[in-house]
Amino acid sequence: SQTIHQWPATLVQPVGSPLSLECTVEGTSNPNLYWYRQAAGRGLQLLFYSVGIGQISSEVPQNLSASRPQDRQFILSSKKLLLSDSGFYLCAWREEGSGGAQYEQYFGPGTRLTVT
Amino acid sequence: QKEVEQNSGPLSVPEGAIASLNCTYSDRVSQSFFWYRQYSGKSPELIMSIYSNGDKEDGRFTAQLNKASQYVSLLIRDSQPSDSATYLCAVNPIKAAGNKLTFGGGTRVLVKP
């Protein structure tokens, strides 16, 4: 069965510091991967998605970046955090392919980031 | 107009009653529809997917899809306090790049004992 991991679970960082969040998926090959952010009391905002190694699409211009160095690894980074970067960061995956149940996305446990 | 709309709630339901959640979407050619449950402080969990018009039942949950009217609903029968959560509706437009999902803002459900 497939499993998705995210770490760290919680993070407190000062403004201006760098960020690196990691997501890995087990039990599947060439998944589509997604990074979302959920601000307190708000909906899900899609930040980045990737359909393959090295292929990153950005949904929202900001000071965040994403990379996919390996098939099942997705990394979210920032060089300098802003207060507005605080939130709940969620990684999700879906099977590569088209049609039916393969569109289902599954979320990791998330990383709660507080920028102080 | 938002692409996927949900009433934010809270929807207050007595224990044992039926909770009815609605979701409307704007992209007429959307083909895949999903309901996620999100407990406070936790990540969303997929509970239902539906692709064809009509009803789909899974335990106490029933998803209903009406593509002509562009709405999808979720019924929770015999509601339990453990069903108290935010329910997110998600839609997959037929030609979404990266097979992205579009999420609604969620409906908060409170089941009172």
The secondary structure of A40-79 as a DSSP string is TT--EEEEEEEEETTEEEESS-SSEEEEEEETTEEEEEES
CB–CB of B43 and A110 under 8 A? yes
pLDDT tens-digit map of B43-56: 999 999 999 999 99
Nearest partner of A94 among B57, B52, B49, judged by Cα: B49
pLDDT tens-digit map of B61-109: 999 999 999 999 999 999 999 999 999 999 987 767 777 899 999 999 9
SS3 for B100?
A: coil
Which residues in chain B are contacts of A32 at CB distance < 8 A?
98-99
How much is the pLDDT for B27?
A: 84
Q: Which is higher by pLDDT, B3 or A88? A: A88
The answer, yes or no, to whether residue A43 has pLDDT greater than 80, is yes
Q: Taking the mean position of all CA atoms in its chain, how far away is CA B92?
A: 13
Which residues in chain B are contacts of A57 at CB distance < 8 A?
97-98
How much is the pLDDT for A61?
A: 65
Burial class of residue B112, CB neighbours in 10 A (0-12, 13-18, 19+): exposed
How much is the pLDDT for A91?
A: 98
Give the chain A residue whose CA is nearest to the CA of B39. Answer: A109
User: Residue A15's pLDDT band (boundaries 50, 70, 90)?
Assistant: very high
Distance, in Å, from the CA atom of B12 to the CA atom of A84, rounded to the nearest integer, reads 32
* Mutation for testing the B interface, residue in A32, A49, A51, A105 having most B CBs under 10 Å: A105
- For chain B, give the percent of residues with pLDDT over 90: 82
Give the chain B residue whose CA is nearest to the CA of A95. Answer: B99
Which residues in chain B are contacts of A106 at CB distance < 8 A?
46
Mean pLDDT in residue range A75-85:
96
Which residues in chain B are contacts of A46 at CB distance < 8 A?
100
How much is the pLDDT for B74?
A: 98
